[in-house]
Amino acid sequence: MISQTNLKNIDDINSNKKKKVAIITGSSEGIGKSIAVAFAKSGEYDGLVINSRKIDEAQQTASEIKDNAVNSGLNLDTIAIQADISRESECIKLVEQTIEHFGRLDVLVNNAGIQKNIPIEETTLDDWHKIIAVDLTGPFVCSREAVKHMEKQQNPPPAGGYSIINISSVHQAIPKPHYVPYATSKAGIEMMTKTMALELAKKNIRVNVVAPGAIDTDMNKVLRENKEERQRVLQQIPVDRIGSPEEVANAVEFLASDKSSYITGTTIYVDGGMTLYPSFGLSSPSPSPSSHNQK
């Protein structure tokens, strides 16, 4: 049995535990916002950076999260930083302004992403470059700049070290016709993550992927508006429902925390089983052995 004294000691340890600073790119709405909310609710952060290409949206989300934290008795500072992740100079600015304000960076979540439905024969180089710039090059540049600061900071997080989490997609593994640049970028994210994880392991920096499936966000608003498309997608999901941004955020919060201190270079799929080749699933329960004809 745990004594009241031991419980008090645990509370004292938790209250004195050094808190973290995190950047979440593309976090004014959708999955990114849910990640920021999950981080705030965890009580493990004293600084969050909300990022968007639109500063007013980032400021609104930052204020909302900070107000909710204060109302919950949490000491949390949030700031909004405008940055277009497709531009190297703005990725550098995002990290530098974070360091200027908070003095450190412990967690980076590369969440910003775009996609476009277009057949390959109609895909221009401009289409290709725009999507790759946001979905692959941006996470590389943000990670590179974050690592520069993480490896020279004093007093790193004690157990789990620093954490970089790349938000990918089931389409790092499942081909997606009409989305060649998008699927290509996500496959690149997976190998970039593995390579970075191996390179940075001895520097106390963990790197992982969270790969969502069909999630109820504005990017997938067709699933809300088109009943036939929703039904088609549901047939690809063994658990037979669309996921929520909060379910993705829970996985990200876990990977950013000390609870995942022995995990690096891996992918957590938050997809309801979409990557399990659902067409091979059972359409009805298998017959019991007793029902087989005997010979």
Does 278 map to a domain? no
Does 283 map to a domain? no
Does 87 map to a domain? yes
Angle ∠(130,85,216) on CA atoms, nearest 5: 80
Angle ∠(64,103,256) on CA atoms, nearest 5: 60
Does 2 map to a domain? no
Q: CA Rg, the chain, in Å?
A: 21
- Where the chain has pLDDT below 50, the residues are 1-15, 290-295
Number of domains within the chain: 1
Does 41 map to a domain? yes
Does 33 map to a domain? yes
The strand pair at 267-270 and 205-212 is best described as parallel
Residue 10 pairs in a beta bridge with: none
Domain carrying residue 174: 18-273
Rounded to whole angstroms, what are the CA distances from 183 to 41, 86, 178, 270? 32, 17, 9, 17
Does 295 map to a domain? no
The strand pair at 267-270 and 107-110 is best described as unpaired
8-state DSSP, 272: T
CATH of the domain at 73: 3.40.50.720
How far apart CA 262 and CA 87 sit, in angstroms, is 33
Per-residue model confidence (pLDDT) at position 156: 76
Instruction: List the structure tokens of 35.
Output: 């990640």
| pTM given for the model | 0.89
**Residue of 188, 160, 155, 161 whose CA lies nearest to 173:** 188
Residue 205: left if φ>0, alpha if ψ -120 to 50, beta else—which one? beta
Does 13 map to a domain? no
Per-residue model confidence (pLDDT) at position 293: 44
**Residue of 43, 118, 117, 32 whose CA lies nearest to 80:** 32
269 is catalytic: no
Residue tagged active-site, from 182, 262, 269, 277: 182
**Residue of 201, 204, 104 whose CA lies nearest to 154:** 104
